[in-house]
Structure 1
């Protein structure tokens, strides 16, 4: 009987392009395909090492002269809402949560377009049409849910595409009605995901990247129990200023060294970059 060996994932690097978070800097991403029978294991393993999912791709920033983008997650056992976060929960108490399979709807796309046109009209996703939106929601080889929020009898107000990892929830992409911006719906969805994770007995909620020096990402540092993945390990974020040096060129390891350090499922060594 012949047995086929699992194919180790190959890692690649994108061409430099302007950084969306820090002015005057260029970004590159290290990425690999997410496919096959081992997709969930690979997603779980690499999420623990600072990678994020976008459809069928796992990626992590690997810029030539900057390592400011730090993957962030909330340690659920250490989280307690601040006074302002309690007010956010109270303002949004009328909302009801509905978790569905990752299947795109017209109502979701209308809300998504309204959100982009109001808040990210110049961003990289500004030109996404309904087919690209559907692909973002539906093209996933792992366990994902589309979590919707709306008050009884009212239109969809907020939604989040969420991955279920073996150690937590990963908030892949969230969007909301900008007419209700004063209700802090983005923060509310994070707070609600902490409650979902707590109910499920999961230790973490993954938030994406926190970038010191970027006002756009500063809000993530306000969550108690926030950990960041820096220099190959997760550590509790205490003073955000401690990470200001991550923008220095000497903070970046060579790409080949970064790839060699990646731990794959079943402790397989990562192949070198192509």
Structure 2
């Protein structure tokens, strides 16, 4: 590797785990000041990293290895019965690929979602600067996949389109429309986006076996997980 290709890797201090209240977490983070993060993003995804705002990170917790990178095999994915019902239930929605960034309508939806899903967690009073800082980065190849019912914005799926795959970064939606399964519908639409663009993978971030908020990802088959030996098919239960 040429010296100009090298990038520093930092380890964060221990902080509260976002998934288990009785655990602490640490991350490895690629140098956020590196001038070539846009070029590093694709290879970092391949190695299991994730984007949050302007940071590319990987969980590195000494006492816990629950977070497992996962990705959908796009070419071989077929929706199951529940996912087909979700597609039918949301057939009235218009899906559009939009320029990322802040506007009042998106921010209002984001606030309602956080207040419903993360009340009292420190994220539920997000200002405009928080919205921009968490969801976008100047170097990131991001689009906002918006789901509308008529004039109403029901959901936004923050989606990064890299050369080697698509990353489902974050989805927020109207909490009053939870019966629609908008989170699942957004992933199904991101799978179709990957197919249209000829991308082999849809990266879903981290899967945590048995966790009530993370185990849903195993339903998107075939799913691969990243192990010490590289990417492997998820074992069937």
* TM-score, length-scaled by structure 2: 0.93
> Relative CO higher for 1 or 2, CA cutoff 8 Å, sep ≥ 6?
1
Q: 2:100, 2:142 within 8 Å by CA — same for their partners in 1? A: yes
Cα pair distance change 1:14/1:58, threshold 3 Å: same
Match of 1:227 in 2: 224
RMSD over aligned CA atoms reads 1.8
The structural deviation recorded for 1:130 is 1.5
Q: 1:163, 1:169 within 8 Å by CA — same for their partners in 2? A: yes
SS in 2 for 1:108: helix
The structural deviation recorded for 1:25 is 1.9
Q: 1:35, 1:56 within 8 Å by CA — same for their partners in 2? A: no
The correspondence for 2:206, drawn from 206, 209, 216, is 209
Match of 1:248 in 2: none
What is the rounded CA distance, in whole Å, between the counterparts of 2:26 and 2:3 in structure 1? 31
Match of 2:83 in 1: 85
Equivalence map 1:156-235=2 (5 Å): 156-235=153-232
The correspondence for 2:145, drawn from 117, 141, 147, is 147
Match of 1:65 in 2: 63
What is the rounded CA distance, in whole Å, between the counterparts of 1:105 and 1:224 in structure 2? 35
* TM-score, length-scaled by structure 1: 0.81
SS in 2 for 1:125: coil
The structure with the largest strand share of the pair is 2
What is the rounded CA distance, in whole Å, between the counterparts of 2:120 and 2:66 in structure 1? 22
Instruction: Tell me if 1:117 matches 2:115.
Output: yes
Q: Deviations over 1:221-266 (max 9, x none)?
A: 11111111121511111236xxxxxxxxxxxxxxxxxxxxxxxxxx
Question: Number of aligned pairs?
Answer: 236
Unaligned runs of 5+ in 2: none
